[in-house]
A = this chain, B = another copy of it.
Amino acid sequence: MSKRSGRLVRCLWFFVAVAALFFLGFTAGWFAKPTPAGHTDPASGEYLQEFLEEMQPSQIREHLRKFTRLPHLSGTEQNLKYAEQIQSEWRDFGLDSVEMVPYDVLLSYPNASQPNYIAVVDAEGREVFNTSLAEPVPEGYEDVGNIVPPYSAFSAPGQPQGDLVYVNYGRTEDFFQLQRQMGINVTGNIVIVRYGKIFRGNKVKNAISAGAKGIILFSDPADYSAAGVQPFPEGWNLPGGGAQRGNVMNMNGAGDPLTPGYPAKEYIYRSRLEDGVGLPSIPVHPIGYHDAFHLLKNMGGPVPPENWKGALNVSYRIGPGFTEDFNNQSVRMKIYTNNQVTRIYNVIGRIPGALEPDRYVILGGHRDAWVFGGIDPMSGAAVVHETVRSAGKLLSKGWRPRRTIIFASWDAEEFGLQGSTEWAEDHAKLLQERAVAYINADSAIEGMYTLRVDCSPSLHTLVYQLTKQILSPEQGEEGLSLYDSWHKKDNWTGDRDAPRINKLGSGSDFEAYFVRLGIAAARARYTKDWKSERFSSYPVYHTVYETFELVEKFYDPTFRRLRTVAQVRGGLLLLLADSQLLPLDAQQYALALDKYSRSIANLARRHLPAMQEHQVSFDSLSSAVDNFTLAATHFHQRLLNLNTHNALQVRLMNDQLMYLERTFIDPLGLPGRPFYRHVIFAPSSHNKYAGESFPGIYDALFDIEHAADPATAWREVKRQISIAAFTVDAAAATLMPPA
């Protein structure tokens, strides 16, 4: 090697060394500089398993045991005590803040000194039969005080007397059949209807519209017994002495009846009672089937259609009144129930988000119970409690979610979703701007068969993904994923090979969040086999028999089903709060819109000649759905190309996802229901429990069959179609590139 070439080599080496050093420095500098996106790793994946595994059946059992020892009706001292206990334990679990949030709302209680009952009276006014004043108390609870007897909350007080008319389930179609086909007018009579099929408040509303002066609700064994099951305590069927409590309002999402639209805080104006929203104007009372037998057994009048007959050993004659032998007897309701402005308490716990504290994911469920709340709601509250405990554990390990998590223990759900609705009204602006999703936590179990999920279509994909990472709780299904177990037991019929997911209706605390504010929402619970188990709800629903023992003996002896529900609810919460990209799926919404728009158009086609006469077309809606589908597809393609290191771009697309559900909200509300604002999903006017798709169109079509003036009714159908089409079009626009 020449001296010169040696120098060259040294020189080269020198440059290589310099370059290497510079490169080393450059690289160090590059990586030393913080990436403002900060949270590029999908931490959620890492923490999800840890979170789910932390949840323990034994803990859930303990929570449930603890919070079902005493009756804790909303507005009572015991319910406040449980609230304080929850606040204190959530703090101990490690939440950053837990506050007690009171409101003063209208509740309704039986009069302590004058019990409610129904009597059969003879011509002299003597009471020849009285319904029972209370349910037989289950073993072990004999010394417990403050068990409120069965009553219909917000019933008008009064002592109407008249002849009974039996109107099946009291549905719009039942009254229609009674009045138009059987020609029976109930004006001045007392209506008796069986529980089931629809929300009891709708039954009461129908009775009032029909002119009844009182209404009796009874649980028929046909609707509240499973085959081959004993009544509680031997089994989980409804005993003859049990009666279903419940509120009978029609407030349509207003929350506190005296402060519709505004939180029932101290300084908020309260309307007079006579201006309150949704309060029934007639007395209402619930009874069990032992008592119902005595009221029904002597009824006269026509024999009813087969599908009006229940399972009692009576003829189910329609009335009015009793057979000739008893036609000097009539029925008197004696109702002394009072409305009363009462303080209620929500418990609100928070984990502020690390990177996006202004994005909220909420897990909320109620705490107030009609009596012990063994299932409703404490099976859900126990699950929330365990979720909070597990989140606290993660916090103690240094984890903090990207977004803010809010836990809520709502009050006064049983009186019309009041705690959750007042809080939603109180924070409507913040929620509208910032809420990503609301996970509901009412009763966690209503059967022993499989999972049931009702949610926004945007959450379908997340629910499927999550349930694949959770194990089935069923004996004999060891190692099987919850998804596979659920899929096997409840496949989506026809159009899709995946577990069935239902539409959200109402009847629980998600209502204000989903139907009024347009926040993506989900509820999950363990359920029965709907194909074979035809009874309404679970048999002892809202009775004194909803105890800890009911759950431990029958519904979930190992508490593994409840753990599974905790994992589903908690898993959704964690993934929504912690994923860098929001796990919301616009394409699933597109599929749902397509399916439901076809189905509502098919419903209309029953009236094809009239549709043509009134020039009703669904073209605008189907074309809007096509636009939405295209926009959703493009949106998810853009998502794939997103630079996830660019914090601002991630936020922009997350905002589009978050606001997707919001775009379905119409501030004008559905006709006559200013607080039901979701154009795609809302309860129908005829049954608060069931979620309808395109409820505006659905209700207008429903009126076609029951309305007097078809021209007006068809105009409303056309108006509703155009509102739906516009809303879907507008939603599509929000998914397009934003400028």
Chain A positions near chain B (C-beta within 8 angstroms)? 18, 21-30, 32-33, 35-38, 261-263, 265, 267-269, 271, 350, 352-353, 355-358, 404, 426-430, 433-434, 619-620, 645-648, 651-652, 655-656, 659, 662-663, 666-668, 674, 677, 715, 718-719, 721-723, 725-726, 730-731, 733-734, 737-739
Can you list 11 A-B contacts with CB-CB less than 8 angstroms, sorted by A residue number?
A: A21-B25, A22-B22, A22-B25, A29-B29, A29-B33, A261-B668, A265-B726, A267-B722, A269-B719, A357-B739, A358-B655
Contact of A36 among B262, B646, B721, B734 (CB under 8 A): B646
Q: Are B674 and A668 in contact (CB under 8 A)?
A: yes
Given A25-B27, A25-B28, A263-B726, 14 further pairs, Cβ under 8 A: A21-B25, A25-B29, A26-B26, A261-B666, A269-B718, A269-B721, A271-B719, A357-B739, A358-B655, A429-B663, A429-B731, A429-B733, A430-B730, A647-B647
Give Cα distance in the complex from A408 to B721, angstroms. 30
Contact of A430 among B28, B427, B430, B734 (CB under 8 A): B734
Q: How far is the CB of A600 from chain B (nearest CB, A)?
A: 16
Q: How far is the CB of A402 from chain B (nearest CB, A)?
A: 10
Q: Are B26 and A733 in contact (CB under 8 A)?
A: no
A263, A662, A730: most-surrounded residue (chain B CB, <10 A): A730
For the complex of A and B, the 4 pairs showing the least CB-CB separation, nearest first, are A25-B25, A29-B29, A352-B739, A357-B739
User: What B residues does A718 contact at CB under 8 A?
Assistant: 269
Q: Are A433 and B662 in contact (CB under 8 A)?
A: yes
User: What B residues does A620 contact at CB under 8 A?
Assistant: 267
Q: Are A648 and B645 in contact (CB under 8 A)?
A: no
Q: Are A652 and B265 in contact (CB under 8 A)?
A: no
Name which residue of chain B comes closest to A359, CB basis.
B738
Give Cα distance in the complex from A737 to B722, angstroms. 41
Q: How far is the CB of A95 from chain B (nearest CB, A)?
A: 12
Give Cα distance in the complex from A269 to B659, angstroms. 26
Give Cα distance in the complex from A738 to B430, angstroms. 9
User: What B residues does A619 contact at CB under 8 A?
Assistant: 267
Give Cα distance in the complex from A49 to B262, angstroms. 47
User: What B residues does A429 contact at CB under 8 A?
Assistant: 659, 662-663, 730-731, 733-734
Name which residue of chain B comes closest to A18, CB basis.
B21
User: What B residues does A677 contact at CB under 8 A?
Assistant: 667
User: What B residues does A668 contact at CB under 8 A?
Assistant: 261, 674
Q: How far is the CB of A529 from chain B (nearest CB, A)?
A: 41
Q: How far is the CB of A378 from chain B (nearest CB, A)?
A: 29
User: What B residues does A404 contact at CB under 8 A?
Assistant: 738-739
Contact of A652 among B24, B271, B358 (CB under 8 A): B358
Q: Are A648 and B355 in contact (CB under 8 A)?
A: yes
